[in-house]
Amino acid sequence: MTTVPSVSLHDGVTIPQLGLGTARLPDEETRRIVREALAVGYRFVDTAASYGNERGVGQGIADSGLPREEVFVSTKLRGRDQGYETAKAALRASLDRLGTDHVDLYLIHWPLPRLDRYVESWRAMEELLDEGLTRTIGVSNFLPEHLDRLAAASSTVPAVNQIECHPREPQLEQRADDARRGIVTESWSPLANGGELLQQPVLTGIAARHRRTPAQVVLRWHVQQGLVTFPKASSRGRLVENLDVFDFELDDEDMAGIATLADGTRVNGQYPDVWEEF
């Protein structure tokens, strides 16, 4: 069984560097996949209230028989629940669906600048942290200007910023800004939804040289740069494949080749300064 290294957050909490993503999966399928992922060695599951599958995540963890403390669980505050009181109630509702008394990481899913409630939501999350309902708190899809506002209103620095990141959109400036603040960057959609990206000759060539798959090359690109990531997978074979990226290394030529794929393409055109998710 593959041992996944952990990344230390600025508050001392550690998070497995590679986990399981669950976006756009229904409860029953999520339950099966989470159970299988934990059986093959995953110890980090990422979900969100807006995914509608927190119950399936919790059931999959329960099915696994693993002690709760061995599984790192993150979920997210959806847009319609932003606000001081509503954010507090939202986490308690998520905990009820997950069947647990705490999560390990709670995130604001999107900044939603037009709504302008992420600062008061952050104050609520600080209190949820103090109450022990989450072990650490962070944000998702936040730009430097959003992080600046949090810094002006609070001394609590987000532990992570979960952003779209892959070879098409490597997010170099945002990652550098996160690092400057002591924030760990997490990559969502790390394979850019697979498909066309994984067919690129640059990646297929690197994969052939390392006797790996293109997906493994891309996931290695993430972890080798210190990013935390959580690809989706629906089959046991793909779950095992995605986890098996810690025993080879990309060299400078490989990394330079992958850098040529950067063209700023986002998978769904979700730009945080205007994207609205409720």
Active-site positions? 51
Host domain of residue 134: 6-192+227-232
Q: Report the CATH number that the domain containing residue 116 is assigned in CATH.
A: 3.20.20.100
- CA of 180: how far to CAs of 139, 147, 155, 163, in Å? 16, 12, 15, 16
- Least Cα distance to 56 among 107, 98, 106, 105 occurs for 98
Q: Give residue-wise pLDDT tens across range 38-69.
A: 999 999 999 999 999 999 999 999 999 999 99
Binding residues for substrate: 109
User: Could you tell me if residue 253 is inside a domain?
Assistant: no
DSSP assignments along 52-117, one per residue? T-HHHHHHHHHHHT--GGGSEEEEEE-GGG-SHHHHHHHHHHHHHHHTSS-EEEEEE----TTT--
Q: Residue 209 in 3-state DSSP?
A: helix
User: Could you tell me if residue 88 is inside a domain?
Assistant: yes
Q: Give residue-wise pLDDT tens across range 5-32.
A: 999 999 999 999 999 999 999 999 999 9
Q: Write phi, then psi, for 113 (nearest 5 degrees).
A: -60, -30
What angle separates helix 236-243 from helix 214-224, to the nearest 10 degrees? 40
pLDDT at 199: 96
Asked whether the whole model's pTM tops 0.95, one would answer: yes
Q: At 98, is the pLDDT very low, low, confident or very high (cuts 50, 70, 90)?
A: very high
User: Could you tell me if residue 140 is inside a domain?
Assistant: yes
CA dist 21 and 47 (Å) reads 7
User: Could you tell me if residue 138 is inside a domain?
Assistant: yes
User: Could you tell me if residue 39 is inside a domain?
Assistant: yes
* Token pair in block for residue 77: 């505050």
pLDDT at 220: 98
pLDDT at 85: 98
Number of structural domains, the chain?
A: 1
User: Could you tell me if residue 205 is inside a domain?
Assistant: no
Expressed in percent and rounded to 5, the helix, strand and coil fractions of the chain are 45, 15, 40
DSSP assignments along 156-194, one per residue? PPPSEEEEE-BTTB--HHHHHHHHHHTPEEEEESTTTTS
* Token pair in block for residue 208: 């052939």
Q: Give residue-wise pLDDT tens across range 214-234.
A: 999 999 999 999 999 999 999
User: Could you tell me if residue 214 is inside a domain?
Assistant: no
Mean pLDDT of 142-150: 98
